[in-house]
Amino acid sequence: MNKTQLIDAIAEQAGLSKVDAKKALDAFVAIVSGSLKNNDNVSLVGFGSFSVVGRQGRNGVNPRTGQKIQIPARRAVKFSPGIELSKRL
């Protein structure tokens, strides 16, 4: 499912116009992104939790050239599904 399909599904399920559904989805993404940028976790009971984890730097290999490269440390987003979401799958 892409963003357009998600907006259509939200509009249909919630009885909103597509414009309002897009605004709601954009607001959700902005709020979650801002919270994660500030190292705050976002928990949606029953759905799951978004958090920021640190990835250590490591050695890697360029697959085209075979040259060894250093992959720098970085922050990444982690999603842990909630129990209810896991049961639905």
Starting at the earlier edge strand, list the strands of the sheet with 74-81.
42-44, 48-55, 74-81
- pLDDT bucket at 5, cuts 50 / 70 / 90: very high
- Give residue 34's pLDDT: 95
- Give residue 21's pLDDT: 96
pLDDT tens digits, residue range 7-63? 999 999 999 999 999 999 999 999 999 999 999 999 999 999 999 999 999 999 999
Output the pTM of the full model. Answer: 0.78
- Asked if 83 and 45 count as a contact pair (C-beta separation under 8 A), the reply is no
* Strand, helix or coil for residue 25: helix
Domain boundaries, given as residue ranges, for the chain: 3-88
- Asked if 9 and 1 count as a contact pair (C-beta separation under 8 A), the reply is yes
| Topology, domain 3-88 | HU Protein; Chain A (4.10.520)
- Give residue 89's pLDDT: 87
